[in-house]
């Protein structure tokens, strides 16, 4: 997939986080730190666009090196690349466009950030099942990451049945295309169903839940949102587990606080960006970053994150974000 020659570090080049409402995103913090460390004559900037066509006008420029598209461009730009990696095929979305021998290629590294954020906290030799809150774009990468961790059963908590059915359909189609074993996806629709699934008494339950929350930190308002919130409360109260909270500002979201209340290990979502940096730069420049370089980039991301207002899982201020999941 990465055969071929990446762009020269000496040529003047541009990379972008591209999407709607991304002008204040944190991506340049981590990527421009890497650019300085590897001595590339490149810049990474946020590119706020309103359409696929506007994004393409930059991708087709001579100085284009690569980009990180956000939703819905992760799906809309699939037909722009000549080849995709296994993860992109299975997930049905790309979050990296890069060049080899002037060909545009696509990859998905979202799942790597999710997997690497969770893996250090998962106990060995313990039965595990998955839990995903939400059924939007980020949930597909979460399913892929949990499947890569070997989980065969994944519970879904989401307000909308159609969204869950769409998720199941897309996962089945994508995983078959990539020849990956499809995990069993179980939609927990009601409090009664959650109680039955988890045998009411959490002390008798041996499996540890490995969870990813892919929804914004918003107060439930509709009846369906309140129902999903109630199901989540039961699920967290009756299980032990690890939860990756993809919404990372405020530092302690409603879901974060609820999980901690029930003694779950909570992993902050900004790790998902930080843990992708090695994989992303293997794509953009064909380089293997040293541990020192990775840490420097991650530390700059954390430093700038600490000075920002509320952000969503893409590092975008909630007030500016349009497509966040």
Task: State the catalytic residues.
Answer: 74
How far is the C-alpha of 285 from the C-alpha of 263, rounded, in Å?
A: 42
Taking a C-beta distance cutoff of 8 angstroms, is the pair 97, 108 a contact? no
How far is the C-alpha of 128 from the C-alpha of 154, rounded, in Å?
A: 10
How far is the C-alpha of 189 from the C-alpha of 187, rounded, in Å?
A: 6
Helices (H), 238-290: 254-261, 270-274, 277-285
Q: Rg (Cα) of the chain, in Å, rounded?
A: 20
How far is the C-alpha of 241 from the C-alpha of 235, rounded, in Å?
A: 10
How far is the C-alpha of 174 from the C-alpha of 170, rounded, in Å?
A: 6
How far is the C-alpha of 132 from the C-alpha of 146, rounded, in Å?
A: 9
Judging by beta carbons within 10 Å of its beta carbon (0-12, 13-18, 19+), is residue 181 exposed, middle or buried?
Answer: exposed
Omega of the bond prior to 36 within 30 degrees of 0, cis? no
User: How many CA within 13 A on the CB side of residue 220?
Assistant: 16
Q: What is the DSSP string of 169-237?
A: HHHHHHHHHTT-PPPEEEE--SHHHHHHHTTS-GGG--PEEEEEE-S------SHHHHHHHHHHHHHHH
């Amino acid at each position: 997939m990465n055969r071929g020659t990446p762009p020269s570090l000496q040529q003047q080049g541009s990379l972008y986080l591209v999407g709607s409402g991304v002008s204040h995103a944190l991506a340049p913090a981590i990527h421009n730190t890497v650019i300085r460390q590897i001595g590339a004559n490149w810049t990474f900037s946020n590119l706020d666009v309103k359409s696929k066509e506007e994004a393409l006008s930059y991708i087709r420029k001579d100085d284009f090196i690569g980009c990180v598209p956000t939703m819905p461009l992760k799906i809309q730009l699939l037909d722009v690349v000549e080849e995709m990696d296994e993860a992109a095929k299975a997930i049905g979305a790309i979050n990296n466009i890069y060049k080899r021998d002037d060909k545009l290629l696509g990859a998905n590294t979202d799942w790597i950030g999710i997997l690497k954020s969770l893996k250090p906290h998962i106990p060995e030799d313990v039965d595990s099942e998955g839990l995903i809150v939400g059924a939007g774009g980020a949930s597909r990468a979460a399913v892929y990451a949990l499947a890569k961790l070997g989980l065969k059963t994944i519970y879904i908590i989401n307000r909308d049945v159609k969204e869950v059915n769409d998720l199941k359909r897309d996962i089945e189609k994508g995983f078959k295309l990539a020849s990956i074993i499809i995990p069993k996806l179980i939609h927990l629709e009601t409090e009664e169903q959650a109680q039955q699934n988890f045998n009411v008494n959490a002390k008798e339950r041996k499996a540890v839940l490995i969870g990813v929350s892919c929804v914004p930190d918003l107060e439930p308002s509709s009846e369906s949102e309140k129902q999903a919130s109630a199901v989540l409360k039961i699920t967290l109260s009756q299980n032990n587990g690890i939860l990756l909270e993809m919404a990372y500002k405020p530092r302690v979201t409603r879901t974060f606080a609820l999980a901690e209340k029930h003694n779950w290990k909570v992993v902050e979502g900004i790790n998902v960006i930080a843990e992708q940096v090695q994989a992303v730069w293997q794509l953009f420049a064909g380089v293997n970053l040293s541990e020192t370089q990775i840490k420097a980039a991650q530390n700059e991301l954390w430093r700038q994150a600490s000075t920002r207002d509320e952000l969503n899982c893409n590092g975008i201020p909630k007030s500016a974000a349009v497509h966040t999941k």
